[in-house]
Chains A and B, each alone.
Chain A
Amino acid sequence: MYSYNDFDEAFVRERVAQFSQQVARRIDGSLTEDEFKPLRLMNGLYLQLHAYMLRVAIPYGTLNPTQMRQLAYIAETWDKGYGHFTTRQNIQFNWPLLKDVPAMLSALADVGMHAIQTSGNTIRNVTSDHFAAAASDEIEDPRPYAELLRQWSTDHPEFQFLPRKFKIAVTGSPNDRAVVKSHDIGLRMIRNDRGEVGFEVLVGGGLGRTPMIGQVVRDFLPVADLLPYCEAIVSVYNLLGRRDNKYKARIKITVHENGLDEIRRRVEERFAQIRPEFHGHDQKLLEDIRAAFAPPAFRNAPTDAHDQFYAADPVYRAWADTNLAAHRNAQYSIVTISLKAPGTTPGDATAEQMRVMADLAERFSHGELRISHEQNVILPHVHKSDLPAIHAALVQARLGTANVGLISDIIACPGMDYCALATARSIPVAQEIATRFDELKLEHEIGPLKIKISGCINACGHHHVGHIGILGLDRAGVENYQITLGGDGTETAVIGERAGPGFAYDEIVPAIERLVQAYLANRTEPTETFLQAYRRLGLGPFKAALYPAEGAQDAA
C-alpha cells in the first residue's frame, strides 16, 4: 500500500506545528476569530452546532489497519468514542476541544494522515471507487491516479484560492461506484479502439442547490496527459469562475454559463500551452506510485468453507447475498461491512468496532480497508474460506447487518443533529426508516433500493441521486421533507424528480412506506428493481401513493 514519502511527512508535520502555534495564539487572544477561522478551516476544523468538528481526509477511501486503529485511539482519547464516515470518504470527529486539535493532528501525522484541504476553496480529498483493485469489472486500479492528483493538488500554489471548493473523483471501472458524474471533474477510465487505457473526462457535475450531471469535455485523455489536462481545467475555472456570488461559483455554473464548447476550447488551448512544461517527472512519479499499489499476493486454497456455510446457515447466506461482491480473483470476495444496523447512525463506528475491522483487515484482507461514499467499510481482498470467520466476528461486534444496497443501507448526512448549515435533521429519519422496514421484514423482498438523505440544499447526503431522495427543509419554522424519485448516481446518472409537496417530520416514514408499497404492487416481477419500475412507470403511481387524498379529490 502507498505510504507517504519524506516530503509528505515533513510537510504534514510542518503544518501541524504551524497550526499548533495558531491555536495557541487564538487561545491567548493574539489572533481574532476573523484571522483564525480561515486557518482552522485550512486544517479541517469546523465549528458546528454543539461543538467543533474535525474532518480528516481518507484519500481515495483507502486505510491500513494501523491507521484505522489510530482513528479509534483518537475517537477515544479526544472525542466521545466514535467517528462518522462521510460521503466524501472522510471521517469526522464531532466533539473535539479546541486545545486538543493539535494533538489529534499530530496523532494523525504519526500514521500519515491529515486534515489538510478538507475545507476551503481548494481541491478537496480526491475520491475513488471503494472496490478499486479488487472489482472484477475494473480496467485498472484508479488509485495511483488519485494519489498523483492528490500530490499535485496538495498545497498547489495556484489553486489555494479558487472561486469555490473543487472535487475530483476517479473510477477505473465501467460500473461507476464513485459517483464521478456529480463531481467538478469526473474521470472514468476507458479503453480506446486501439485498446489503450485513458480517461473520459467529465466536467461540471455537482449536487447542491443546482444539481447537474457532469458533461464530457474530452472523450479520451491519454493517461500521460492527466495532470496537465486537470491543471488546464482548474486554471480555466480559476479565471472564469464567478467570485461575486457564492451560489454561482462552482464550475458547474461556469460550464452552464459559458457553454461546454467554450469551456472545452479554453481548456484545450490552456492544455496546449502547459503540456510542454510537464517533462515526464509526473510519469516517473506515477510509476513509483503504481509500484506502491502493487496487488497483494493472493492465496490459492479451497473455498469449501464458504460453500458449506452458505448452504447450511440462512443468516450467513443472507449476509453473503447482500454484502459480498465479485472479486477479480474467483477465490476471493469483496466484503462490505454495513455501518447501517437498523436504528444506528449511518456511517458511525465506535472505537471498538474500528479495532475489530482493523484486526479483520490485518488477518484476512491483506491489510487493506476502504471507506465507501455510501458510508460503509470494505474489506477488499478476502479469501472465500475466511468469510465464515469474518461474518462471525462482525456479528459479535454488531457489524454483521445483511443490508448492503437495500432500503436500510441509507446515506444520511449529519443534518441538524450536528451541522451548523442544516435546515432539518437527517439522522433520525434514516434511523426510523431503517427500523420500520426491519420490523416489516420486507427489505430483502424489496431488493436494491437506495435512499439518500440530506439535511439541507447542500446535498452532502446525495439525495438528488438517490432512487428515493429526501431533503430536509425548514418550512415556516417546522422540519419538512421533500421527496425526489428516480435519481441514480452510477454510470447512468440522473437527477431525481421532485415528487410534490414535502412532508412533516412524523409523516415522512409513512410516506416512504406508501411509496414502497406502490412499488411492490406495481412491479412486473420481483427482479424489476424500484428504479427500473420507476423508469417504466414514471412519477404517476408513486405520486398517487404519496398523496392519496389529492387523488381522491381528483377522482371526485
Chain B
Amino acid sequence: MSRKFTPKVVTANDLLIGDVVYLTHDDRWTREHREAELIEDEAHAQLRLLDGASQKNIVVGVYLADAKAGPDGPEPTHFREAFRTRGPSNYAHGKQVGEQPGPRQH
C-alpha cells in the first residue's frame, strides 16, 4: 500500500541575500510562501525539484518541503517551515517585518 503523497513546495535560500525563497509555478523565486507552487503529485514534485536545483546561480540548498492548501495559497505544515516563513522568534527581524538579511533598513 503506497502512502498518500503530501503536497510540497520547492524551497531554497537566495544565493546572494540568503533569504528563504520558494519556486512559483511560472519559475520565479518568491519570498512569500503563499505564492509558491503547491505540488500535489509526486512525479511532478521530483521534476520541479530538478527545475529548482538547476538554477545554481540564483539559489542554494533546494529541497521539497511539506505544505498544504490555505485560503491565501500554500501554507507550511511543519514548524521548521513555518519559522522559515517568518524569521526568528527573539527579534522582529526577517520576513515577519518585511525585512531582508543585511543591515537594518532605516
* A interface residue numbers (CB < 8 A to B): 26-27, 29, 32-33, 47-52, 76-81, 94-100, 345, 416-418, 422, 425, 427-428, 431, 474, 477-479
Binds A, one of B11-19, B22-30, B34-42, B44-52: B11-19
The answer to whether A96 touches B101 (Cβ under 8 A) is yes
Chain A residue at smallest Cβ distance from B95: A50
Considering the chains assembled together, what is the distance between the CA atoms of A51 and B94 in angstroms?
9
The answer to whether B87 touches A50 (Cβ under 8 A) is yes
The answer to whether B80 touches A416 (Cβ under 8 A) is yes
Considering the chains assembled together, what is the distance between the CA atoms of A232 and B101 in angstroms?
44
Chain B residue at smallest Cβ distance from A505: B79
Residue numbers in B under 8 Å from A78 (CB-CB): 102-103
| 4 closest A-B pairs by CB | A51-B101, A51-B18, A417-B88, A29-B57
The answer to whether A95 touches B80 (Cβ under 8 A) is no
Considering the chains assembled together, what is the distance between the CA atoms of A49 and B56 in angstroms?
18
The answer to whether B89 touches A417 (Cβ under 8 A) is yes
Considering the chains assembled together, what is the distance between the CA atoms of A171 and B17 in angstroms?
40
Q: 11 A-B Cβ contacts within 8 A? A: A27-B15, A47-B61, A50-B87, A50-B94, A51-B13, A51-B94, A97-B18, A416-B80, A417-B83, A417-B89, A422-B80
Considering the chains assembled together, what is the distance between the CA atoms of A240 and B104 in angstroms?
48
B2 is an interface residue with CB less than 8 A from chain A: no
| Cross-chain contact of B16 among A27, A48, A50, A345 (Cβ < 8 A) | A27
| Cross-chain contact of B93 among A77, A95, A96, A416 (Cβ < 8 A) | A95
The answer to whether A100 touches B89 (Cβ under 8 A) is no
The answer to whether B16 touches A99 (Cβ under 8 A) is yes
A98, chain B: closest CB distance, angstroms: 5
Residue numbers in A under 8 Å from B80 (CB-CB): 49, 416, 422, 474
The answer to whether A49 touches B90 (Cβ under 8 A) is no
Q: Given A52-B18, A418-B88, A425-B89, check contact A95 B79 (CB 8 Å).
A: no
Considering the chains assembled together, what is the distance between the CA atoms of A76 and B16 in angstroms?
19
| Cross-chain contact of B60 among A33, A417, A431 (Cβ < 8 A) | A33
The answer to whether B19 touches A477 (Cβ under 8 A) is no
The answer to whether A427 touches B103 (Cβ under 8 A) is no
Considering the chains assembled together, what is the distance between the CA atoms of A416 and B88 in angstroms?
8
For A33, A96, A422, the residue with the greatest tally of chain B CB atoms inside 10 Å of its CB is: A33
Residue numbers in B under 8 Å from A77 (CB-CB): 103
The answer to whether B90 touches A428 (Cβ under 8 A) is yes
| Cross-chain contact of A98 among B15, B20, B56, B94 (Cβ < 8 A) | B15
Q: Given A80-B93, A95-B93, check contact A50 B61 (CB 8 Å).
A: no
The answer to whether A49 touches B83 (Cβ under 8 A) is yes
Given A80-B91, A95-B93, A474-B80: 15 more A-B contacts, CB < 8 Å: A32-B56, A49-B80, A49-B83, A50-B94, A51-B17, A80-B103, A95-B102, A95-B103, A98-B17, A99-B16, A345-B90, A417-B83, A417-B89, A418-B88, A427-B89
Considering the chains assembled together, what is the distance between the CA atoms of A78 and B18 in angstroms?
14
Considering the chains assembled together, what is the distance between the CA atoms of A79 and B88 in angstroms?
15
The answer to whether B102 touches A97 (Cβ under 8 A) is yes
A472, chain B: closest CB distance, angstroms: 11
The answer to whether B77 touches A98 (Cβ under 8 A) is no
B68 is an interface residue with CB less than 8 A from chain A: no
Residue numbers in A under 8 Å from B95 (CB-CB): 50
Q: Which of B66-106 contact A (CB under 8 A)?
A: 77-80, 83-84, 87-91, 93-95, 101-104
Chain B residue at smallest Cβ distance from A77: B103
Residue numbers in B under 8 Å from A76 (CB-CB): 103
Chain B residue at smallest Cβ distance from A431: B90
Considering the chains assembled together, what is the distance between the CA atoms of A319 and B91 in angstroms?
27
Considering the chains assembled together, what is the distance between the CA atoms of A422 and B83 in angstroms?
12
Considering the chains assembled together, what is the distance between the CA atoms of A479 and B56 in angstroms?
32
For B78, B90, B95, the residue with the greatest tally of chain A CB atoms inside 10 Å of its CB is: B90
The answer to whether A51 touches B19 (Cβ under 8 A) is yes
The answer to whether B17 touches A97 (Cβ under 8 A) is yes
Q: Given A76-B103, A427-B89, A477-B79, check contact A47 B84 (CB 8 Å).
A: no
The answer to whether B57 touches A47 (Cβ under 8 A) is no
Considering the chains assembled together, what is the distance between the CA atoms of A99 and B57 in angstroms?
14
Chain B residue at smallest Cβ distance from A53: B18
A396, chain B: closest CB distance, angstroms: 22
Considering the chains assembled together, what is the distance between the CA atoms of A47 and B12 in angstroms?
11
The answer to whether B103 touches A50 (Cβ under 8 A) is no
The answer to whether B16 touches A98 (Cβ under 8 A) is yes
The answer to whether A33 touches B16 (Cβ under 8 A) is no
A479, chain B: closest CB distance, angstroms: 6
B19, chain A: closest CB distance, angstroms: 7
Considering the chains assembled together, what is the distance between the CA atoms of A80 and B18 in angstroms?
14
The answer to whether A81 touches B104 (Cβ under 8 A) is yes
The answer to whether A417 touches B16 (Cβ under 8 A) is no
Residue numbers in A under 8 Å from B94 (CB-CB): 50-51
Q: Given A33-B60, A52-B18, check contact A100 B102 (CB 8 Å).
A: yes
The answer to whether A95 touches B101 (Cβ under 8 A) is yes
| Cross-chain contact of A50 among B18, B56, B57 (Cβ < 8 A) | B18
A23, chain B: closest CB distance, angstroms: 10
B14, chain A: closest CB distance, angstroms: 9
A429, chain B: closest CB distance, angstroms: 10
| Cross-chain contact of B77 among A97, A417, A418, A477 (Cβ < 8 A) | A477
Considering the chains assembled together, what is the distance between the CA atoms of A76 and B103 in angstroms?
7
The answer to whether A50 touches B104 (Cβ under 8 A) is no
